[in-house]
Structure 1
């Protein structure tokens, strides 16, 4: 069984679901919490082990949740990370990703994983 970092997954989904939080993290020049769109994507897919787990046979969560995660992955890959944070925040694809992340957080809560909603 592959290890997946559920805290990384939930933390990344929480940021992806929250435009206000994105603005706080992605537009700050310094401070204790500075992040970027690329870092959140890396946390969700690479750091958590989720990308590898979704490629293996069998479910990570449920077939429905896994498919939604794959859909989110495909959507996020279409967002040009080389642009300035302000431009990324205006991207209509990111608005769709926010909605998908909100749904996935609800799905994970129903599935039984929710640290502190």
Structure 2
């Protein structure tokens, strides 16, 4: 189920980019927001339970993590959980992206648009 769900989500994203005027940035934002909305109304967690990483690794999973972390911290800390939940739930992934992005930019010589 991991590969079926994860692959299906990727196919949907690719079709959106190929068949509509949406850019990759539009699809990224759409998927993160959609994952957050589906998580907020309780529809994304059952998919995570069935597909595991097939549902948490794609961009919808990031939106789900933001909302699920916020809800968890609101239940634990009340109003202050609004400000801490999303950051605590996604800090590892964000930090990994920043650190690996930095090291890749140091190790490789990126070329600008002009060549």
TM-score (norm 2): 0.30
Q: Higher helix share goes to which structure?
A: 2
Which is bigger in relative contact order (C-alpha 8 A, separation at least 6)?
A: 1
Larger Rg: 2
